[in-house]
Structure 1
């Protein structure tokens, strides 16, 4: 039986995957065409995750593919345990969208776009090891301010010192994360302990990565906003989000860089050693599905480390957006910009699930709270639901969606993008470099790359239209706007996540 045949359809874009144990099955989101993209390893990882101790629900999203312990593109819920694998090694990898007041026609000229690419690249470096000192106009953060950002996230003080508009913090899914005991003081103590143990070699160099993209699948992308229709619900959501039809926006994808990677790998090593010491069996025999019971010292340490990485990722995104706005203002004087939203797809958050608190782990999955959800009370999105930012690929476009009430069936979550169809090695082996580069030229999409990385070419990703159709047919979310790429900032080195 193939992986897709193991899934029992319950609707055009929904299904269940039995686990072989006396547990409720895995919820599957995806049309038949999408289910056929799930390979055996992805399915096995989902089953291992569902059968792991303390796990009460697992959702497999249409972008799902094999990941670190749990599939990328899944949601895992536990009221009693915390799992590093279903967060991953790039803690709080996220999306953000900056809306500019520039009409699309102002960037039609390729010379203008090339000047914008140059101005952005002078401020926001790409590459796995690169930081602010590697570019002419980067904003170098000193050690003291870097520590404050790790502990406080996008606080008023941090924003003011870094030149980030403080009001942007209000447009974040979470502008700051606290320690296991809900204090920042414990985060400061944990960071001091980690530094004393030399858990952060080259700490200052890692701090200098604030305001940078990294490599692999991370990017910055200049977009033109196209509202999907002029219906009242769409216009209401677009107004609440601050979207401007026919105007330029900038979409960013990146995470917690070297800081997050070191924190995550340290946690994996420590928990794997504990499992060996205790003689505890690994779920599905997978070393990447280690866990800790909530309330234990190990769980507290993981939550603290995840929060430190998440705060770094938040400030990193906001600084990137401030630098991008600065670059646009250099090339197009007088332009203004505002943050639409900043939202994660690699994080564990404490939420109410089935009327009780639980940790919702989203690995390559995006939170999707609809209008009226209690967590959106007193936010700008209480009456509409918050923006969902879904990258597709530069040639198919990306999407801004908003959740519907049906999102409850997926633990108020949707996919984080299109999801990979080809592995990196296979893509490099099979795709023709000249054809990839010509496809960008034909689509009038500029890039900063001499050669666009083949392992990130549009053909390496799933059919974005079918992915979005799955989300809409499953009644999880509806599209508010499509984002059409005009240029891409990217690097060809290995992915952070």
Structure 2
């Protein structure tokens, strides 16, 4: 009797979707169309699917048509699903990396745009990508994968001045270090104290009204350093053998090492484009801080230009600091090495172009020079990359924290801080207990975990360190 009855499979073939509407349609068919001609009913249902508004006056189909229109106008869930399984990634020094960092990296490895990833031995939990996380993405850039302090970097100047000159005249070096550096959130120079630089003439400052409003702050903060773990320090660098690429003979030399980023310019850019990415790219809660921008979109291209501007501005800040102090001490500059570690690069990996995010990771392509600092009392290292594919041509950006700032302040005393500084013959200007050496991992353990990633070229020992007076973070 019901051989010609229309079922759910028939409606799905017409184009209906699984869900509430399909159920309502089957109820209507069961109630009103059991004896009707099959082909006529199918034609009617197809017309209803295509133009439900044409049936709003139909005695039988009005309610179904209304429900179809209401569903079509409901806000769509645009959340992008993560892949069910995380792609595998290399972890260096895993036994010294906290579980939170590994969990964050696992989430990043489930993004639909992820191609590859790696975790460096100084890794610890952060926002979005963990600090020490490296992520290669396909045609997408993640603002929080770059980080808040865009283009944060290390810069090292090596002079022909012997260690003995510093030992004999520490007051001179202290005076010049204080005179030519500024630290902390919001710190800048008055107009008559400012330095002119080609970076301020860059066209990107005019690309949007938002970026244009940041130029004044960028000029005032040019040549200053942030808070937190940012520093400028005098130290001694030791080459145990001649380094031909740098043209430096074995020996001990006075050196200047700085660590800072793009100041308020970079922080404001990061905040703006992270919010924009989150509006455009809806991800599940656990991955929300990994919102990305398509590189083919206007927003993606705009962030890319702004990010590169901030990175070059960070480099200009170091250049101003090093030039001032080089002039002040009057030594001959033998070499200057620089690398950044909060950035995204267009690179080729496994034969395809990818966007490599290094959030607290040093570029370590084959032959690439980099600087990996320890703490204010632990040595840092001038290194040359080996170009290890599984690490996506990367290495650590430092020793990495083993205590949070809050934990360090609660557990480390001023007396302990002074004792370790004295034991290592280091003069400290500024800094809070949150930056105490004990808050950091052992740099030797970190370096040992990445022997396949970099070769050590020289060892840098801090002697006089300047940081923000209160350990404040960047604004």
1:46-70, CA deviations, whole angstroms, 9 ceiling, x for partnerless residues? 0111111211111000000011211
1:5-43, CA deviations, whole angstroms, 9 ceiling, x for partnerless residues? xxxxxxxxxxxxxx994453011111xxxx233223211
Once the two structures are superposed, the pairs formed by residues 457-472 of structure 1 within 5 Å of their partners are 457-472=436-451
Identify the match of residue 388 of structure 1 among 370, 381, 389.
Answer: 370
1:427 equivalent in structure 2: 408
2:360 equivalent in structure 1: 364
- Taking structure 2 as the reference length, what is the TM-score of the superposition? 0.78
1:480 and 2:461 correspond: no
Counterpart CA distance in 2 for 1:95 and 1:208 is 21
Counterpart CA distance in 2 for 1:471 and 1:269 is 35
Shift of 1:243: 6.9
Q: In the alignment, is the contact (CA less than 8 A) between 2:86 and 2:107 conserved in 1?
A: no
1:345 and 2:341 correspond: yes
Higher relative contact order by CA 8 Å / sep ≥ 6: 1 or 2?
Answer: 1
Between structure 1 and structure 2, the one with the greater Rg is 2
Query: Where in structure 1 are there 5+ consecutive unaligned residues?
Result: 1-18, 153-184, 330-334, 371-384
1:37 equivalent in structure 2: 96
2:382 equivalent in structure 1: 400
1:291-347, CA deviations, whole angstroms, 9 ceiling, x for partnerless residues? 012201221121122112112111111111101212323xxxxx2224421110000
In angstroms, what is the RMSD of aligned CA positions? 2.2
Aligned CA distance change for structure 1 residues 367 and 43 (closer, same or farther; 3 Å): same
- Spell out structure 1 runs of 4+ moving beyond 6 A: none
Counterpart CA distance in 2 for 1:195 and 1:80 is 24
1:28 and 2:91 correspond: yes
Q: Please say which of residues 358-367 and 388-397 is displaced more in the overlay.
A: 388-397
1:303 equivalent in structure 2: 304
Aligned length: 393
Q: In the alignment, is the contact (CA less than 8 A) between 2:243 and 2:249 conserved in 1?
A: no
Counterpart CA distance in 1 for 2:270 and 2:250 is 38
Shift of 1:129: 1.4
Aligned residue for 2:112, secondary structure, equals coil
Q: In the alignment, is the contact (CA less than 8 A) between 1:369 and 1:403 conserved in 2?
A: yes
2:195 equivalent in structure 1: 141
Counterpart CA distance in 1 for 2:247 and 2:121 is 25
Aligned CA distance change for structure 1 residues 150 and 411 (closer, same or farther; 3 Å): farther
Once the two structures are superposed, the pairs formed by residues 89-488 of structure 1 within 5 Å of their partners are 89-109=148-168, 112-133=169-190, 139-141=193-195, 148-150=198-200, 152=202, 185=203, 187-190=204-207, 192-195=208-211, 198=213, 200=214, 203-227=215-239, 229-230=240-241, 235-237=242-244, 239-240=245-246, 242=248, 245-275=251-281, 280-282=282-284, 285-329=286-330, 335-370=331-366, 385-405=367-387, 407-449=388-430, 452-472=431-451, 475-488=452-465
- Taking structure 1 as the reference length, what is the TM-score of the superposition? 0.75
Aligned CA distance change for structure 1 residues 367 and 150 (closer, same or farther; 3 Å): farther
Counterpart CA distance in 2 for 1:345 and 1:244 is 28
Counterpart CA distance in 2 for 1:328 and 1:103 is 12
Aligned CA distance change for structure 1 residues 20 and 265 (closer, same or farther; 3 Å): closer
